[in-house]
Each structure stands twice: as C-alpha cells, then as structure tokens.
Amino acid sequence: MRVPTQPFILLGSVEAATELLDRKSGIYSDRIEPIMMQLMRMTYNVASMPYAPKWRAHRRMFDQQFRLSEVHNFKAIQLKQARRFLSWVLSSPACTQMHTRRFVTAIIFLITYGRKITDMDDEHVVLVEAVARGTSAAVLPGAFFVEFMPWLKFLPKWIPGQAFRKHADHYAPLINEMRDRPFADVQAALDAGNAPTSWARTLIERARATDGGSSEGLKSLDLEKNVTAFAYAAAADTTASTIQSFLLAMALFPDAQRRAQVELDEVVGPTRLPDFDDIEQLSFIRAIMMETLRWIPVTPIGIPHAVTADDEYKGQYIPKGSMIIPNVWTMMRNADDYPDPDAFQPGRFLDKDGNINTAVQDPTTIAFGFGRRICPGRHFAINSLLIFMASTLHVFDVTPGLDADGKPVELTDEVLGEVVAMPRHVPCGFSPRFPGAERLVREAAGESDDL
C-alpha cells in the first residue's frame, strides 16, 4: 500500500514474516517512531524505539530481568496473585473485568516498584491506565494525519483543527509523571531505609554503587526509569486482554472447559490448588493458552517494523524505509495451519497421546512478534497466563453470569480496542464446582495476604 511519503507492506503469512523479520532481522528490526509518540514525549517506549544503540541498551536491561532463566523468580508472586483473583471473583463476580486488570497490575507493580496494589483506584494505577488509553489511540495507524504529513507538527499552536496537538498536549505531562513518580517513590524510600525489594530498588542500588553521583550515574538512572515504566505499560493491557479472551472462550465453549477440568482433577485433585509444579502435566491447559492467543490475538496487526535497506522478496521490490506490518489476525486465521479457524479448539495443538503437537504452528511464535523485536516479556506473560488459567478452571465453572436485572448475560466474540484488542464482553459467572472449592479459595486468599 502507498500513502503520501510512506510505503506500507502487509505480511499475511507466517512464511513471509519468518523469512523477512526473523531470517533477515539485521535489516528488518527498525521502527518508524510515530510522530505522536514524540509529541507526547513517550520516547522511552522500548517497543517503538528505532533500532539503534539507545534501543539496545534498554532492551539489554529489560532482558536481564525477564529472560527465560530469570522468570522463575516471579512465580511465587504470580501464584499468590492468581489465588487472590479467585477470592475477588468469588466475592464480586460482577467486577470480573476489573479483577483481571487488577491481577496483572498487582503482579507487575509489586515486582517493578515493590508497591502493593489493593484496588484499581490506586493513584499510580489510575495514571497508567489513562496513559495506556492515550497512547493506544495515538499509535493506531491513520488516527492522526501528522503521521503522514510530519510538517504539521511545526504549525503554530493557535491554528485551529490540530486534534493531534490537543491529544499530545493532554497526555505528555501524564506520560512524564508515569515514568518519574513511582521511581522517585522508590528512591525516597531507599533514602529513608524502608524500600521494599523491587526491580527499581535493585537498579538504583546498582547505579549508585557503580557510578555514585556522577553524570554517567544520572544517565544510567534515566535509562532505568525508562525500562521500569515500560515494564508496566507493556504488560497491563496485553496480558489482561488475553485473560479476558480466555474467560470468554470458557463461557462460549463449555466443552473445552470441561475437558480442562478433567485434566485438572486427574493431576491436582480436590484437596489443593494448582501450582507451577503441575504445569508440565497440564497439556490441555497449555493448549488452551495457545488457542486463546490464536483465537483473539492481542495485537491483530502486530507492531510495524521498518526496513533499513532495499530488499526483494519473491520478485517484490521492498524499498528502504518501508513500514512492514505483520498481519497477525490473518496468520492466526490461516485455515491450512488451523482448520475451522473461527472455532475455539484447543485440541488442535495436541497429538494422539495428549501431548503438545510440535507439527502444528505454535501461535506464541506469532503473537509475541518476530525477530529481534520479539516481546522480551513473553516468558513472564506465559507463566502468568498458565497459572491463572489452571487456578480458575480448577475451582470454578465459568458461565456467562447474570446482568443487573438477573437475566443471563449475552456473550459474543466481538472485539474492541485500537492497537490492543479487547473482547467486548467478559463473563461474570463463577460457581465453585466441587465441595470444598470455596474453602480452598478462602484459605489460599488468607495465605496470600502475607505477600
């Protein structure tokens, strides 16, 4: 596709995305940073940074915390928050959508800043939620003409009709505050000698020990503010979206739910809740996670790459500077890889022995991006999803639930959102499915209060 000043190339197959974004990642790993992100001063967003030394420094620091060999350090927090979620929906199932976001928020805030989130009215959470809405609307392709006519950003502010300017001016101070405020709280607590364990605290202590009060030390802390702020911004919407899609699928496709519960009964039994030691034996739960990522992809059009040199693919000329968009929705709906793609069928990922079938295209290799820009938090996200899904299905039958008038909620698979897709409807029916299930939930919630 061609628009003024910018060629776009849409990749509609895994083959093309793999060939270009993975195997030629040396020239396909750049980003064209949206003008709106610059105007909003969201230049610390690692996902949209150009492929340059600044991005490498940020990515390296993020990888050190969330690479595969490190994410086991967070399992205790993920497990306890999953069990707290069970108590939340048991007490107030009508607020399920909010509880899913609270689950994700509580984990990432505790890890990143050592801050316990008791409810979604927490001032830091309200701030980040507002920023997430603003940035999501700003980066939607075609939302603001300034992306295609960058000279518009030089117009005097008094000229009317600059919706992009109004949007940027509103969110810029919020974006700065989201980055600086929680980090400053950790610094103040550390100075006072009462900072809880957190990633931010570790980074501050490391910077102080290495650089002291030098200018390099201040520069390092600037980098650390960036990566800690990005950690929450990257996780909040995406993981919550997948969780909500999972709950929707369980209510719309009860056969898949029942099959998962049979597996949980065999592996876990009615006397305890699942933990991470069970996950390897829960193949169908893993298949449900994979099918959820495929059925409603979190980022249907992925995050665009940019090519830094002229290239050619199957006779198609690809000019330098082209924006390369992986069409994730189309890849996940490829009937050759996933027959009957609109149906929710976790069994498609299992072989005849009930194990994960490696011959079927793994949707996690699509959902989390490609090449050198693949999501650095994917292992952390998968762990959160697996323990959440196993815990919820073990103790509850998930149903549509009742509305305010006592009528069954009508569910559809309709999707909302800009860059991040969210299901319009989230079920709110959670019935304890065996004697003692409610007791297990309440006991586990009491234990998690010690977190």
d(CA 56, CA 348): 37
- Residue pair 46/227 in contact by the 8 Å Cβ criterion: yes
Contacts of 48 (CB under 8 A, 6+ apart): 31, 33, 34, 37, 42, 139, 303
**Sign of torsion over alpha carbons 145, 146, 151, 156:** positive
Does 428 show up as a binding residue in the annotation?
A: no
Contacts of 300 (CB under 8 A, 6+ apart): 327, 328, 329, 415, 421
d(CA 158, CA 259): 62
| Coil, helix or strand at residue 397 | strand
**Tokens at 112, concatenated:** 């990143």
Q: Long-range contacts of range 14-21, CB-CB < 8 Å, 24 or more positions apart?
A: 14/331, 14/334, 14/337, 14/361, 14/365, 14/366, 16/313, 17/326, 17/331, 17/366, 17/370, 18/370, 19/313, 20/311, 20/313, 20/318, 20/324, 21/305, 21/324, 21/326, 21/370, 21/371, 21/373
- A 10 A CB-CB count for 210 gives 11
Kindly tell me the burial class for residue 384, based on how many C-beta atoms sit within 10 Å of its own C-beta (0-12, 13-18, 19 or more). buried
**Tokens at 390, concatenated:** 């196993």
Q: Phi-psi category of 430—alpha, beta or left, where left has phi over 0 and alpha has psi -120 to 50?
A: beta
- Residue pair 232/381 in contact by the 8 Å Cβ criterion: no
Enumerate the H helices of 92-122 as residue ranges. Answer: 96-113
Element (H, E) at 399: strand 396-399
Which of 423, 440, 424, 426 has the alpha carbon at shortest distance from 398?
426
- A 10 A CB-CB count for 91 gives 12
- For the chain, how many residues are written? 451
d(CA 331, CA 12): 6
**Tokens at 26, concatenated:** 């040396």
- Residue pair 268/394 in contact by the 8 Å Cβ criterion: yes
Look at strands 316-318 and 415-416 and give their pairing: unpaired
Binding-site sequence positions = 375
Q: List residues forming the annotated binding site for heme.
A: 375
